[in-house]
Amino acid sequence: MFHHLTDEMKRATYERLLSCLSSGGTFINADYVDSASQFYSRVFYDLRIDYIRRQGGSETEYVEHHKLESPAPMEVQLSWLRAIGFVDIECFWKYLNLAVFGGRRP
């Protein structure tokens, strides 16, 4: 659900999450992220539309829903976690624009 938050709200939530963790506690997030590349951002979007079409879904519904999304690039989110104070920052898995990433509280 983080991809529906503004970047400022994402950062504030990450800060709050760090303060809630015990020492050594881990935060792991599975969410949609954007690409740092405009080219791949468009490729991922087009692949999603193609998948929806093949599944018989509503392309129009997805296009409207996508307008409500505000995913930040993976690299940007990892840098926020570092700056906030998380350690052992890692992207554990990524496929196109879906990623699992996080870090630990020192």
Report which DSSP code applies to 103. Answer: E
Tokens 């599975």 sit at which residue? 30
CATH of the domain at 18: 3.40.50.150
Domain count, the chain: 1
Domain containing residue 52: 2-104
Q: What is the pLDDT of residues 46-99, one digit of tens each?
A: 998 899 899 998 888 888 877 888 999 999 999 999 999 999 999 999 998 899
**Number of residues that this document lists for the chain:** 106
Contacts of 106 (CB under 8 A, 6+ apart): 23, 24, 85, 87
Tell me the C-alpha distance between 70 and 41, whole Å: 12
Per-residue pLDDT at 67: 85
Tell me the C-alpha distance between 99 and 106, whole Å: 23
